[in-house]
Structure 1
Amino acid sequence: MSGDRAAQFALYAVMLILPLSALVARRQPIGPMLKMALAWVAIFSVGLLVASQRDRLSGLTALFADQQVSGTETRIHIADDGHFWADVEIDGVGRRMLIDSGATTTALSTATAKAAGLDDEESPFPMVIDTADGQVTARTATAKRVTIGSITATDLGIVTSPSFGETDVIGMNFLSRLESWRVENGTLVLTPKQI
């Protein structure tokens, strides 16, 4: 048994022993105590089964996901940090990106741009852009496809710079391609243009 599996087994054993020891400490007659012990074992077993099958239950978890497609609209629930984070695909590469209506252009970390195969040498000259952290030198590139839920933007200009760290941002150049975007009760609603 590997060290990780042994540690998991020990944790599960402690989680089961604690409620069972509480039952024994109550000093009840053996019949009711066994029924209660079996109930705890059943509850614990169902919990382990659900935890071990969480990948197969992904359809159920979609009901509680942060991002959902409803008809043609994509709805993104506000995160605990007060921001809207979208699951985005950039030229086939998936990333979790901050949606920032204060950003003029979609901005990618160097790692994301590289993973998506974007040519940041598209423009021979870097550009200076203003960010919340001050002026930054960035390179420009074009993403062939940027998809959020049901919405795809093609040939979207992006900027990339090591100064961005690991944060990827969807900016107004994506949002301006939509029919509309709005916030309703803590949910960002993105509506694509009707063709």
Structure 2
Amino acid sequence: MPRFFWIIMALIGGGLILLVTSGDRGTTLGIESDAFARTLYLGIWGVVLGASIFATRVPLGDVARNLAIWLFIILLLVAGYQYRYELQDVASRITAGIVPGSPLSVGADGQTVRLDMGMDGHFAARAEVDGATILFLVDTGATTTVLNARDAAAVGIDVDGLSYSIPVSTANGMARAARASVDEIRLAGIVRRGMTVLVAAPGSLDRSLLGMNFLGSLSGFDVRGDVMILRD
């Protein structure tokens, strides 16, 4: 068999003999036995790897370059895993800047949500209502959450079958609305089920309003400059 094989076997055998004969002393050749065993293990693998590289006769420059590339990839993966939550936060902030009203969950529990002020000076909230994505205008002056006719139809409400008999005040003046209900409103990690909403008559409301029946169900919310924080 090749001489290299017997060299490796001699190293393994010699190392094992030293570990066994060290007994209960806890050290081998003045080194802690655990550290000696790890060093022996890594050394053997280093010898095997080095011999394999030389056996392929690949230029050392190419070997060094490939090792550097793999080392960089490994370090990048480790760094990505260690900073995964921070990277998620950065990605959410970028999304919030690109897509108006995108909520940003603050904290691992998802029960604190951040909304950034839009270019128009208002706070918007992109929420899921019965599976449909609705862009709400956050309106602390609205007693009830109001859906415009277009968003109500997207949610699955029969807009044509409603009776618009409830007067409501909008930015365009007084309008008529109908009472309805939705199974779920989900804003990031904040979820409310079985909520009553109003549906504005077709053509009377441009944007749906996230009102106080949702905001008032939270433990608190406040505005800090151009940021609104919602706490479940």
Rg (Cα) greater in structure: 2
Measure the CA separation in 1 of the matches of 2:175 and 2:125: 24
Q: Verify: 1:127 aligned to 2:157, yes or no.
A: no
Shift of 1:184: 1.6
Tell me the secondary structure at the aligned position of residue 162 of structure 1: coil
Shift of 1:99: 0.5
Identify which of 105, 108, 116 aligns with 1:69.
105
Q: 1:97 to 1:124 in 2, by over 3 A?
A: closer
Aligned residues of 2:165 and 2:177 also touching (Cα < 8 A): yes
Q: Which structure has more strand as a fraction of its residues?
A: 1
Q: Percent same amino acid at aligned positions? A: 28
Measure the CA separation in 1 of the matches of 2:226 and 2:182: 29
Q: Verify: 1:97 aligned to 2:136, yes or no.
A: yes
Q: TM-score, normalised by structure 1?
A: 0.62
Aligned residues of 2:172 and 2:204 also touching (Cα < 8 A): no
Question: Which residue number corresponds to residue 181 of structure 1?
Answer: 221
Question: Which residue number corresponds to residue 171 of structure 1?
Answer: 211
Q: Which structure has more helix as a fraction of its residues?
A: 2
Measure the CA separation in 1 of the matches of 2:203 and 2:121: 23
Q: 1:125 to 1:77 in 2, by over 3 A?
A: closer
Shift of 1:59: 8.1
Aligned residues of 1:136 and 1:163 also touching (Cα < 8 A): no
Structure 2, gaps ≥5 residues long: 1-86, 97-102
> Which aligned pairs between 1:1-195 and structure 2 lie closer than 5 A?
61-66=91-96, 67-71=103-107, 72-119=111-158, 126-160=165-199, 161-192=201-232
Measure the CA separation in 2 of the matches of 1:141 and 1:125: 11
**Equivalent AA in structure 1 for residue 106 of structure 2:** S
Q: 1:95 to 1:58 in 2, by over 3 A?
A: farther
Measure the CA separation in 2 of the matches of 1:125 and 1:84: 27
**Equivalent AA in structure 2 for residue 68 of structure 1:** L
Q: 1:114 to 1:123 in 2, by over 3 A?
A: closer
**Equivalent AA in structure 2 for residue 178 of structure 1:** L
Number of residue pairs matched by the alignment = 136
Question: Which residue number corresponds to residue 49 of structure 1?
Answer: none
